[in-house]
Amino acid sequence: MSMQSRLGFEEAADRLTEWAPQSWSVSPDWQATLDEFLRSDDGQRLGSFVSERLLAGATIYPPRPLRALEFTPLSRVRVVIVGQDPYHGPGQAEGLAFSVAPGVRIPPSLRNIFRELGQTPVNGSLVHWAQRGVLLLNTCLTVEDGRPASHANRGWEAFTDAVLARVARVASPCVYLLWGAHAQSKAAAILQVSTAHSRDVLVLQANHPSPLSASRPPQPFLGCRHFDQARRWLAARGCDDPFG
Active site positions, annotated: 85
How many Å apart are CA 54 and CA 195, to the nearest integer? 41
Give yes or no for a cis peptide into 218 (omega within 30° of 0): yes
Determine if residue 167 is left, alpha or beta; phi over 0 gives left, psi from -120 to 50 gives alpha, anything else beta: alpha
Dist CA 81 CA 176 (whole Å): 6
> φ and ψ at 28, to 5 degrees?
-55, -35
Cβ atoms of 202 and 228 closer than 8 Å: no
CB 151 within 8 A of CB 144: yes
| Three-class DSSP category at 68 | helix
Neighbours of 105 (CB within 10 A): 13
